Structure 1
């Protein structure tokens, strides 16, 4: 992926269930030129991830439609339109704020994306980086031809940058126990992930657990529930379960949700370490495929 050295990015701490991704890039074009490229539908169509129609005033409707999608698309509302410095709008439950500041003979473009799906942050960041590279190509007058992150390498680079997303957390359960939980966006289709985890076996309830679903020093009991390619669970303790789920993700592949639940006195700190290593190993192997 090219041009990533020109970007700065940060991810805020979660606040009331919302996170804020901030991305910044210098562009060698004046603010008015950048403003036109981020507000005019004909120019947006060249670099933005969807077709856009917009009533360019606060409160005006903005519509998004992906080419080839037979559905009606999504709508939002313009929250700010201050030419040539600020354009902001809602997109579903998300909010996008584009700020343009003079910077010498060019501009500094700042995107602030506020959203609820914290574990989608690396997907959002990698997607916006590709879009803004395309925007730069449009502004330069050349063809818009950006390498897509089809292998997921840019996504994984952002996930490494937003390292806190890979650490997992400990939760209290309703029955007074504890649960270790990891959530991670993966970069291969669910079927490929399932094949990697199962080793080509077809696990059944009551059968031994395929090695891909295990971790060092975590006891392994029989499979208790399986639904390929979405779910496998097994007992590791009379009062505990390990559960692997592949849910709908954000563009690249499925969202892995991995939990180990157990009694209050189980060593959750040790579980955090071994499962973080296991998930990191899975992600690295998928990136190589």
Structure 2
């Protein structure tokens, strides 16, 4: 389930496909309901779930600091897109014969040293989301697994730059 990365006119698109044996309603709930969302991505908080609405990225560092994030596209049970720094993240949800498929697209203007860290983080978060849907309550963020994915995404980014 490693991301694929493609160059386009404005930069790059990283895409991770996550097939899930769960209904669109169940998956949408873990993407948009704070009690579920924060179990797989503890920094995100849904404030106004709608197009031109707002999310927050909470620093979770004891300072109560946060960054407001604009929701740029929102179609109930289909699309959630939001700003991600200078880039954007888009989740698309579609039904399949045995559940649904969640596709994450990260639009990346410029590849940086932070890009593989970001993609490794999203990869791990999608695994935690899947665990949550499968009734496994995610614990602390698995840094060892993230380090492994970071090495894989560093190589992937290097290949994309060629």
> Taking structure 1 as the reference length, what is the TM-score of the superposition?
0.51
Aligned counterpart, 2:81: 88
> Match for 1:51 among 27, 32, 44?
44
Aligned counterpart, 1:163: 158
Tell me the SS of whatever aligns to 2:144. coil
Higher RCO (C-alpha 8 Å, min separation 6): 2
> Match for 1:154 among 138, 146, 149?
149
Aligned counterpart, 1:141: 135
> Match for 2:34 among 35, 41, 47?
41
Q: Which runs of 4+ in 1 moved over 6 A?
A: none
Q: May I ask how many residue pairs the two structures share in their alignment?
A: 160
Structure 1, unaligned runs of 5 or more: 1-6, 168-289
**Kept after mapping to 2: 8 A contact 1:51/1:66:** no
**Kept after mapping to 2: 8 A contact 1:8/1:25:** no
Query: Which has the greater radius of gyration?
Result: 1
> Match for 1:30 among 17, 23, 46?
23
Tell me the SS of whatever aligns to 1:125. helix
> Match for 1:123 among 112, 117, 122?
117
Tell me the SS of whatever aligns to 1:162. helix
Structure 2, unaligned runs of 5 or more: none
Query: Deviation per CA, 1:14-36, whole angstroms, max 9, x where unpaired?
Result: 634x3221111111111110001
Q: Distance in 2 between matches of 1:66 and 1:72?
A: 6
Q: Distance in 2 between matches of 1:11 and 1:49?
A: 26
Query: Deviation per CA, 1:33-64, whole angstroms, max 9, x where unpaired?
Result: 00010011111110115131320111112221
**Kept after mapping to 1: 8 A contact 2:23/2:95:** yes
Aligned residue runs from structure 1 range 80-229, under 5 A: 80-119=73-112, 120-145=114-139, 147-149=142-144, 152-164=147-159
**Kept after mapping to 2: 8 A contact 1:75/1:92:** no
Q: State the Cα RMSD in Å.
A: 2.2
Change (3 A) 1:105 1:14: closer
Query: Deviation per CA, 1:71-123, whole angstroms, max 9, x where unpaired?
Result: 63111211222121111111332211000111112111100011334133321
